[in-house]
């Protein structure tokens, strides 16, 4: 076996889950449960170094090793994937990424990614991101919807990368969390690093990189399904899973988050309820300020409609 190796330690919260269910919910890699079962049957997934069956139930602190076979030949091809293009000029394109779409190829999703769709719709993309990430200046998690800027040439790519690094790009997100914050406005200034035990997760860690998230409370629902809040998020840094980790750390996990919310399955949403709804940056050539704003995606609006119907009396 010579593919990519991924190791995952099973948290206590996932004790006795079927292994395919645990892995499909815990990994950012876009594995279907049927594909995971195929890997198990072929011996590519092991627990504690031992071969297992597809119905194996994981145990707390199990070390799961996944040997992901490389594709026979990685060829990045244009694919006719629907993309919502918000803005397009000679230097860049801004898109509204749909939830569930991986940004670039990787283990488990060598095709059907945003990059494949961009290659179909956009004739020219910058080369700085490499052969598998042309034009990609920044990324969103697979299940996070919303605004992304993509560079069409190398000069625009270098400029935009510098703007992100210097924190001059303004990024606004909208999310629905379980519970209600103690204040209408808050600032979470806690460093984030790789979880020391569960390597598929990030965590607040004093030895991690600085991370700052500001939030504003927009709405609160008291429903028979529970108490939920809509928050506007101003992201001042861009760490992996930053919003998800920060909100979970203060007791406000995002609805539908399979990694940082213990009750993620309870609410039966197709994707976590997080979207990039605002983006503001300076154009790389025209030196004008570009501002973009979009509505909430369908899956978030559908959840709002659902809890509106379930509001408790007097609310």
- Beta-bridge partners for 185: 216
83 DSSP 8-state letter: -
264 DSSP 8-state letter: G
Closest of 78, 191, 144 to residue 297, by C-alpha: 144
Active site residue 141: yes
- Cβ distance 261 to 187 under 8 Å? no
Cα–Cα distance for residue pair 138/238, rounded to 1 Å: 9
- Cβ distance 198 to 225 under 8 Å? no
Within the chain, where are the H helices?
Answer: 19-26, 33-41, 114-121, 154-165, 242-249, 298-309
Q: Give me the torsion for CA of 249, 168, 92, 104, rounded to 10°.
A: -30
Cα–Cα distance for residue pair 33/254, rounded to 1 Å: 23
136 DSSP 8-state letter: B
Catalytic residue among 20, 30, 62, 141: 141
Q: Hey, which residues are catalytic here? A: 141
């Amino acid at each position: 076996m010579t593919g990519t190796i991924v190791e995952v330690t099973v948290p206590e919260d996932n004790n006795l889950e079927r292994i395919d269910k645990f892995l499909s919910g815990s990994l950012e890699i876009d594995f279907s449960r049927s594909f995971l079962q195929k890997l198990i049957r072929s011996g590519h997934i092991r627990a504690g170094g031992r071969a297992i069956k597809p119905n194996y139930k994981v145990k707390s602190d199990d070390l799961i090793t996944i040997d992901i076979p490389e594709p026979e030949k990685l060829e990045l091809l244009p694919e006719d994937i629907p993309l919502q293009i918000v803005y397009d000029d000679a230097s860049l394109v801004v898109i509204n990424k749909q939830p569930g779409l991986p940004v670039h190829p990787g283990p488990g999703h060598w095709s059907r990614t945003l990059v494949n769709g961009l290659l179909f719709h956009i004739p020219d993309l910058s080369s700085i991101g490499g052969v598998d990430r042309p034009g990609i200046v920044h990324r969103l998690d697979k299940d996070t919807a919303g605004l992304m800027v993509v560079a069409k040439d190398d000069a625009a790519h270098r400029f935009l990368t510098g703007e992100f690094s210097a924190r001059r790009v303004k990024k606004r997100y909208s999310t629905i969390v379980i519970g209600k914050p103690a204040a209408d406005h808050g600032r979470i200034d806690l460093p984030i690093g790789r979880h020391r035990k569960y390597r598929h997760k990030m965590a607040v860690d004093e030895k991690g990189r600085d991370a700052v998230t500001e939030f504003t409370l927009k709405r609160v629902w008291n429903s028979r399904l529970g108490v939920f809040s809509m928050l506007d998020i101003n992201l001042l840094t861009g760490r992996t899973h930053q919003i998800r980790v920060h909100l979970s750390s203060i007791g406000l996990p995002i609805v539908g988050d399979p990694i940082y919310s213990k009750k993620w399955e309870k609410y039966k949403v197709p994707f976590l309820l997080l979207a990039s709804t605002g983006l503001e940056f300076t154009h790389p050539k025209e030196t004008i300020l570009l501002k973009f704003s979009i509505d909430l995606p369908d899956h978030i609006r559908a959840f709002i409609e659902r809890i509106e119907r379930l509001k408790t009396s007097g609310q």
